[in-house]
Structure 1
């Protein structure tokens, strides 16, 4: 991991040296935006199919509901953060959790997939409405590509609100689709045969087992996958003796371990090698796609949710509910949404500052 990090830092130093020639915009010394034409042909080819418009329009009501949930959730979490119901760490930006809570490589891969899919779908839906994509590009952090982005033509700002909402909804919908795909794939991965390795032990297992032990059998139940272990763990009774057979080095050892009063053996386990990496990547892909979708659907400028919510009155008018549309226009308009935007950004900034205090 250190070698990989060093390679990307060397790449970053090189990019910084030639940033004027390659049109690299650098922010805070560690982040960069590299504008290119990469992927524009793919976006053009995909965007020529007009069925994308229907997908964009169908996405709007789904995104309105999710945006409302996201707004309620961020207010609720902020109240709980201040009241002490949530730990301060809950307000920290995700970037600060890499390396501690979030494993670095699986986390970066999952985040890259989420950002790239989000931006790619914005571009495809925009092209289906004949709005050009001026440029594409790569988001970088110390030389590591964080994701792909698209820059839309100025026409996006002047097109009708319903079209803007369809384009804005595309990114979060892409994330929701990936979120729905990632979760079942992760659970299916639990059944893949693998060595089950002890990562950490607690009472009562800590007296007998060590990190690195491979669990072979519990009583007469063979442990061949993480699903096997989880299924057996559900059946553990309080204060009952279990015979656990492990492979330690080249030696098979058996221990009789009495479960705790809570019905626990005190074991933290993981599948070995590449399977653990796959499960980690799928888990963080599920979580990042969900969080990215919800965050972007907040009705705060310049997030996608701002354009989605500002289109609501126009959408009701387009289905001939003129009176209701006019009523909503008094409540949900750009002036109101910009005030809400300010409130949301202050809540987010306040939560971050409070979590660091």
Structure 2
């Protein structure tokens, strides 16, 4: 019996010894094996699927195969950009190319992600986040609470802890927060769509904003509701009501079109649009803008998570095919859900709060940039939509400078047409049935006015002073590139900050609502209502 025990003990010792010996052929130690098993576990089901994408004999060549796949997808992407097809078809084609190449690379290397998104995880940068968070805990908590008030208005009271709701602290918080909320609503928000439209040539964002404002002004009580919602529920409630309001406009236009009257739908722009660099956003400028927006957003989540003693699992970069789409930071989700409500809401709102702050900084930079480059600005009329190429500068009409011609000219910072003051966007009217020669920076065109004198273009005056300062059109390519980068970064930061507050699946607003409201049925009902409104805003694309 004793010999058997000694034999068994020796056998176990021999096995343990053997397992720690690395042979010349490259056998793994137990430590390496555990590390490898952990990596397989982290990659999850994706690792099991990726093992099937390449035959065993091709695995040694996957570096070359993946490089070839990305190069081919890049050239196919360029072909789609130059193809003569509608914007929706072009968008879908580019999406398929990027998703296919991204998924091939992801599965070949057992990387995290899915549907073409590749997540490259790392622990780098986490120590820096730890250090910043530990040295600035009080400041970061205050900034997050200001973000809560800006995002959720007076309703943020119910999203905080009892300690944070002490009268003196709460009063100081509101005194700091509401001026920021008012500045964002009164100065920054009205500039977003005009600036975005001036930087892009594919989507008429300005018309959507105008349509919603026109509908609101036609119903005074609706305007009052929107104003009250800003103070009661911050940008979260204002955005939700605006989304619902414009979805009603869209659905009414679609209903009219189905009944045979397509005019309302023709004049209704989509309230939402998917964006993709190179398709409906300038490629390099969009990459720059998205990088700023995502890095700021995700870093803020990480900082507030560490302030709340929540572990960060990893950080990294996200690619969609060959396109870099931004960065991410992964807090421990289980630990986050176990923390108190206020800590959760601070972490969740941090992304939008930082995007709001970034949009303010970029807004001020844009103003300084446009004033600093005063002498480089073009004096022209910029075409926003219609029968001339969108984004072109209209320089002459029948040999007369467009910026000082009759009936179109600018005076005292306002646009005028036949002596009547106009808004920033208006249809130009000329002599009925006349023929006009238009000289633009993209060539000469001849247009025939209709019986009512319309030529079907929407314009904005671009001058060195006066109206049109939001529509910046420099006569220098480098300045235009810088402006477009700043404009896109500004607009995307603000848009993402507001949209992210909506209680929609995968948005921070949904998690904040779920953390605050304990009635799951109420949370689901609100989510489904806004999800339907969000989908309705895409409907006009189906009729383009």
> Where does residue 333 of structure 1 map in the other structure?
519
Matched, 1:155 2:335: yes
Q: How many Å separate the matches in 2 of 1:148 and 1:298?
A: 21
**Greater radius of gyration (CA):** 2
Name the CA distance, whole Å, in 1 between partners of 2:529 and 2:416.
50
Q: Provide the C-alpha distance between the structure 2 equivalents of 1:100 and 1:334, rounded to a whole number of angstroms.
A: 39
For 1:235 and 1:172, the matched residues in 2 are separated by 34
Q: CA deviation at 1:190?
A: 1.0
TM-aligned CA deviation for residue 298 of structure 1: 0.8
In 2 relative to 1, CA 201–132 (structure 1 residues): closer, same or farther, beyond 3 Å? closer
2:223 pairs with 1:135: no
Distance 1:60 1:83, change over 3 A: same
Structure with more contact order per residue of length (Cα contacts < 8 Å, sep ≥ 6): 1
- Counterparts in 2 of 1:274 and 1:159: CA distance versus 1, 3 Å: same
- Aligned counterparts of 1:6 and 1:231: Cα–Cα separation in 2: 50
User: Cα distance 1:343–1:34, how it changes in 2: closer, same or farther (>3 A)?
Assistant: farther
Residue of structure 2 in register with 1:82 after alignment: 251
Q: Specify every segment of 5 or more residues in structure 2 that has no aligned partner in the other structure, as ranges.
A: 1-69, 76-97, 153-233, 254-263, 381-390, 420-440, 442-458, 464-471
Pair 1:21 & 2:225 matched: no
For residue 33 of structure 1, what is the aligned residue in structure 2? 119
2:508 aligned with 1:304, yes or no? yes
How many pairs were matched up?
296
CA distance in 2, matches of 1:265, 1:335: 51
Q: TM-score, normalised by structure 2?
A: 0.47
SS of aligned partner of 2:281: coil
* Shift in CA distance, 272/22, structure 1 to aligned 2, threshold 3 Å: farther
Number of the residue aligned with 1:116: 295
Distance (whole Å) between structure 1 residues aligned to residue 250 and residue 415 of structure 2: 35
Is 1:47 aligned to 2:133, yes or no?
yes
Provide the C-alpha distance between the structure 2 equivalents of 1:131 and 1:37, rounded to a whole number of angstroms: 15
How much has 1:354 moved relative to structure 2? 4.8
Q: Secondary structure at the match of 1:149?
A: strand
Aligned pair 1:282/2:486, yes or no?
Answer: yes
Bigger drift between 137-146 and 346-355 goes to: 346-355
What does 1:1-357 align with in structure 2 at a 5 Å threshold? 9=74, 16-17=104-105, 19-21=107-109, 23-27=111-115, 29=116, 31-48=117-134, 49-51=136-138, 52-64=140-152, 65-84=234-253, 87=267, 89-95=269-275, 98-99=277-278, 102-153=281-332, 154-193=334-373, 195-196=376-377, 200-202=392-394, 204-205=396-397, 207=399, 234=413, 269-312=473-516, 333-357=519-543
Q: CA RMSD in A?
A: 4.0
Kindly state the Cα deviation for residue 150 of structure 1 after the two structures are TM-superposed: 1.3
